[in-house]
Amino acid sequence: MRDLYKRLGLDPRAGEVEITGAIERCEHTALRADARTVLEVGSRREEYDALHVTLSDIGRLRARLGLTHAPYWRDGPADDFSLPPDTHGSRHDELMQRLTRAALLHNRWQRLRGPWLAAALFALGIMLGMGLCRWLP
């Protein structure tokens, strides 16, 4: 499937006026005819948009998972919906990193809980005492 919005230089959320303008400006006759058939009729555009969203999602997923040159994508939707490879890295690795960090924090808390609690209690006691001395008489 072709990405008519991309080929017409439009945003997928563009209104009817913008679409009509872009179609009139387009110089490619076949593309103009197709865009007129698909985008200028409300029900057709809705159906087209639904598939457009799915394909964009799949294109993004494929870019992130390194599947942009897989056999089922190579010659077909790949022309219009492929994105440059994503360097965000794996979500799974990121999850593992976050888990490790959470575990580390938890461990540290377990280890330092005693001294920290004692220090906090001591400080609280001093503050209370100071407050009492200051304001009571």
The residue ranges that bind another protein (CB under 8 A) are 1-4, 33-34, 37-38, 44, 47-48, 50-51, 54-55, 57-58, 60-62, 64-65, 67, 69-73, 76-77, 90-92, 95, 98-99, 101-102, 105
Q: Return the exposure string of 65-96: e unless at least 16 CB atoms fall within 10 Å of the residue's CB, then b.
A: eeebeeeebeeebeebbbeeeeeeeeeeeeee
Question: 97 or 130: whose CB is closer to another protein?
Answer: 97
Question: 25 or 106: whose CB is closer to another protein?
Answer: 106
Question: 70 or 118: whose CB is closer to another protein?
Answer: 70
- Return d(Cα 59, Cα 82) in angstroms, integer: 5
